[in-house]
Chains A and B, each alone.
Chain A
Amino acid sequence: MPQAQTSSSLGQIKLPSKLKYIVLDILKPHRPNILKFAEELAYLHKTYSVNLKVIAVDEKTESVEIMIEGEELDYEKIEATISKLGGSVHSIDEVSVGPKIIYSKKLR
């Protein structure tokens, strides 16, 4: 019997459970640097693997692509951690839900 998944609702981001992979586009101040972001995000759960890539640097800010993979990602905690570090999520660019992670063509 497949486990029922949480449905999304308008007005709030409520991603399905068993989220295994997510790609976020965030804007952050230069400090703390991406090492600190990676450390704090990876610290959220022992199964989290984190990859951060700076894609644009401005005078006061930088845009960073964050890829997180784990057994069951907690989006709310991830977003709260990003906010705590001074970043803001611009967009959720990619997600993967289900028993197997399906990466986009770009990453394969």
Chain B
Amino acid sequence: MGILERIKLYISITESEDIIRRYFVNNTFDSALMTLGIIFGIHTTTSDPRIVIAATLGATVATFTSGMTSAYLSEVAEKKAQLKEIQDAMLTKLTKSLQVQASKTAPIIMAVVNGISPVIGAALIISPYILNIFGIIPATNIFIYSLLIALSILFFLGAFLGKVSNENIFLAGFRTILIALLTMAILFLLSYTKLL
């Protein structure tokens, strides 16, 4: 059995499909809006790409560490309880069974998804700034490119949720874009208060 098949089996045995999907969407959504806030906030004061990258990197490392550890600790506890319930119902210890392996492996898979998804979102959004640092693209419009990438990620997440709930994926995608626009409007108003 290949690694991917085994991962799928462990996820299925521990009934973690929904939780993993939620972790992925929630964290990518959080990181997309967080990065949008960082680049928007910094854009009002400076156009130095290194500051955007440093601020995003700091926030992303913190989100990654927090995402990995919090998901792992909480899921280990959940899966232990789930395994105990099954063992109690079966009136036997399921030693060396797939259930035991799955209950140990699933929290690791979930922690990785919870930790990595915000990193991917943030990395994609600040990629124009990174490309600019390496001299691959000019500094003009990198802010706009990042905004467009952030909006695209949010649209994709909304569309993905729309697909899950059998809704119109375009409407669902535009709904998340509206949330991003609302965030940007708040940041824009805040910029007038001289707080940004």
Residues of A in contact with B (beta carbons under 8 Å apart)? 27-29, 31-32, 36, 58-61, 83-86, 88
Contact = CB atoms under 8 A, between A and B. Distances in A.
Given A60-B86, A61-B90, A85 B12 contact: no
Interface residues of B, number: 15
A88 B15 CA distance: 20
B89 A32 contact: no
A29 B99 contact: yes
Given A60-B85, A83-B97, A88 B90 contact: yes
A29 B90 CA distance: 8
Nearest to A58: B89
B86 A85 contact: no
Interface in B93-115: 94, 96-99
Contacts of A29: 13, 86, 89-90, 99
A29 B99 CA distance: 9
Given A84-B97, A86-B97, A60 B13 contact: no
A61 B86 CA distance: 7
A59 B94 CA distance: 18
B90 A31 contact: no
A36 B94 CA distance: 17
B98 A84 contact: yes
B141 interface: no
A31 B15 contact: yes
B9 interface: yes
Given A31-B15, A60-B86, A86-B13, 15 more contacts: A27-B90, A29-B86, A29-B90, A31-B13, A32-B9, A32-B12, A32-B13, A58-B89, A59-B89, A83-B97, A84-B98, A85-B98, A86-B86, A86-B90, A86-B98
